[in-house]
Amino acid sequence: MSIADAADVSGPSEAVGTGVTAVSDAPGGAFPAGFAFGASTAAYQIEGSVDVGGRTPSIWDTFSHTPGKVANGDTGDVAVDHYSRFRDDVRLMADLGLTGYRFSLSWPRVQPGGSGPLNQTGLDFYRALVDELLEHGITPAVTLYHWDLPQELEDAGGWPNRDTAYRFAEYAAGAAEALGDRVSTWITLNEPWCSAYLGYGSGVHAPGRTDDADALKAAHHLNLGHGLAVGAMRSVLPSDAKLAVSLNLHAVRALTDHPDDLDAARRIEAVGNRVFTGPIFKGAYPQDLLADTGHIVDWDALVHDGDLAEISRPIDLLGLNYYNPTLVSAVSNNHPVDRHELHGKGAHSPWPGAEGVAFHQAPGEVTAMDWPVDPSGLYDSLTGLYKEFGVPLIVSENGAAYEDTVDADGVVDDPERIAYVRGHLGAVSDSIAAGADVRGYYLWSLMDNFEWAYGYEKRFGAVRVDYETQARTPKASARWYAEFIRTHRR
Ligand code: FCB
């Protein structure tokens, strides 16, 4: 089997363009019965208790303890102490009326060291969490890998090492076997774009390596790990289990219709989006990606016979994580060059093979991350993805950080966050009205937490966490979301 697909995945998708689609600001449209109104978190960002119950270090423990890597020297050692407070946190979710909760398993808690037998204490923690959720009528969606690779596997080469894909599938099957009687939605990877390109390309995420070839190797091995995990999990899960992957597909827009700018958008779509959707949904890497990156990595050596058949095993849901659109042009085109890199500005680019592409800040409102607020990118992505792949979708992450101000009672009035969430729920309901099969929306995040390289500086929560006392106080946006759910769930 050739590793490259026919031309149909090479061209720019309809998401490329300069037009902005209008979306309704006040969603009145119906959400389908059973639609999950949820919130999302990740193990390293909330759990703390990093040396409790047999858990071993992950690459994020090592990275956050390396001076200069995370703002203020923050680490996830304590985080928001969810490991001890999970019952209270589930009660909080129930008070908000959430119908779904997406969280991740810590690989080194479930399988210390990343190989060998699973750790009963780790599994017991997640079993207790799931039981608590189910008792409160909240449906769990479990992510297997939200970036916390066991350190031992990084020491053996990390994701650029092919063996990591096999280790991941083994862990995934074990976790599915242990929890599959009570969890029916399973997400293999969270944002492999970040794992590959921020972890091994720009180095702003763990493990902090900066090598373009390793970044592309990591991307392929993450794809392979996903496919192998899907195969292994299908054989242990009940037949009605839903298997998914969460991708941060970029809603790429060209600054102008100039062919050079359109080509810049095409390049970013190739290395940012189609490097994942090509093999996963079409069983092939796009021709143009191979051409753009062939000088960096030897794809024929990287992709073994049979890999694409593994990676393209059918899945039941695609999770889209969406925060903002991506505006690009060709550098040569004489536009101002404002290199804006998601998740921080590193000296190395997280876009291998896209030298010559300039990133622009879209005009208009931004969040505390400097990310533009533009729900039309969510609408365009959902409708475009459903049209292209026909797979049911969930929005597995969407939300915003703002500079919250707290009153004397710990209460935060956050009208910007309410407007952000309202606008994006509007985009979801518009996309459903336009025919897209969207089955859930998981707000990022349930509560303030460890925001990776930004440490505790950036607050994405609907619930305020006082990091001194660990007190949780719902913000106005949490109350708004609760009311929205109450009036829209069916
Ligand atoms: C996403 C991550 C999530 C969180 C949000 C803000 O890229 O998946 O953990 O950091 O960004």
pLDDT value of position 19: 37
Q: Is 354 helix (H, G, I), strand (E, B) or coil?
A: coil
Domain ranges for the chain, please list them. Answer: 3-328+374-488
Instruction: Tell me phi and psi for residue 243, to 5 degrees.
Output: -110, 140
Contact at 8 Å (CB) between 35 and 489?
yes
The whole-number average pLDDT for the span 330-355 is 63
Whether 444 lines ligand 1, by a CB cut-off of 6 Å, is yes
Q: Where residue 12 falls among pLDDT bands split at 50, 70, 90?
A: very low
Ligand 1 neighbour 397 (Cβ under 6 A): yes
pTM beyond 0.75, yes or no: yes
Mean pLDDT of the chain: 92
Instruction: Tell how strand 463-465 and strand 252-254 pair up.
Output: unpaired
Please determine, for residue 485, whether its predicted confidence score (pLDDT) is greater than 80.
yes
Burial class (CB in 10 A: 0-12, 13-18, 19+), 135: exposed
Burial class (CB in 10 A: 0-12, 13-18, 19+), 364: exposed
Atom of ligand 1 nearest to the CA of 342: 7
Using pLDDT thresholds of 50, 70 and 90, give the confidence band for residue 45.
very high
Rounded CA-CA distance 129/88 in Å is 11
Contacts of 49 (CB under 8 A, 6+ apart): 55, 81, 83, 84
Quick check: CB of 194 below 6 Å from ligand 1?
yes
The Cβ of residue 105 has, within 10 Å, a number of other Cβ atoms equal to: 27
Task: Kindly calculate the radius of gyration of the chain based on its CA atoms and give it in whole angstroms.
Answer: 21
The whole-angstrom separation of Cα 472 and Cα 49 is 18
- The pLDDT, as a whole number, for residue 480 is 98
Neighbours of 95 (CB within 10 A): 14
Q: How far apart are CA 101 and CA 457, in angstroms?
A: 24
Q: Is 110 in the pocket of ligand 1 (CB under 6 A)?
A: no
**Structure tokens that stand for 470 in this block:** 């660990």
Mean pLDDT across 218-242 = 99
Task: Name the band, by pLDDT with cuts 50, 70 and 90, for residue 305.
Answer: very high
In the chain, the amino acid numbered 201 is: G
For residue 8, the one-letter residue type is: D
Angle at 77 (CA atoms; ends 410, 476), nearest 5 degrees: 25
Q: Is residue 292 within 6 Å of ligand 1 at its C-beta? A: no
Per-residue pLDDT at 374 = 97
Domain 3-328+374-488 has CATH 3.20.20.80: yes
pLDDT digits (tens, 9 = 90+) for 168-184: 999 999 999 999 999 99
Q: Whose CA is nearest to atom 9 of ligand 1?
A: 42
Rounded distance between C-alpha atoms, residue 69 and residue 343, angstroms:
12
pLDDT score of 237 more than 60? yes
Residue 362 confidence class, pLDDT cut points 50, 70, 90: confident
Between 62-66, 271-275, 291-295, 351-355, the lowest mean confidence (pLDDT) is in 351-355
Distance from residue 160's CA to the centre of ligand 1 (Å): 22
CA of 331 relative to ligand 1 center, distance in Å: 28
Q: Residue 333's pLDDT is what? A: 57
In which band, very low, low, confident or very high, does the pLDDT at 343 lie, cut at 50, 70 and 90? very low
Per-residue pLDDT tens over the stretch 399-457: 999 999 999 888 899 999 999 999 999 999 999 999 999 999 999 999 999 999 999 99
- From CA 105, how far away is CA 126, in angstroms rounded? 7
Atom nearest to 191 CA in ligand 1: 8
Distance 59 CA to ligand 1 centre (A): 16
DSSP state of 282: I
φ/ψ of 94, rounded to 5, equals -65, -40
> Does the CB atom of residue 42 touch ligand 1 within 6 A?
yes
For the CA of 246, the nearest atom of ligand 1: 8
pLDDT over 70 at 334, yes or no: no
How does pLDDT run across 258-292, given as a tens digit for each residue? 999 999 999 999 999 999 999 999 999 999 999 99
- State the distance from the centre of ligand 1 to the C-alpha of 3, rounded, in angstroms: 30
Contact 369 CB / ligand 1 (< 6 Å): no
Please tell me the distance between residue 332's alpha carbon and the centre of ligand 1 in angstroms. Answer: 32
**Residue 195 pLDDT exceeds 60:** yes
Question: Does 451 sit in the ligand 1 pocket, CB within 6 Å?
Answer: yes
Ligand 1 centroid to residue 367 C-alpha, Å: 14
Does the structure show a pLDDT above 90 at 28? no
pLDDT over 60 (residue 4): no
- Per-residue model confidence (pLDDT) at position 332: 66
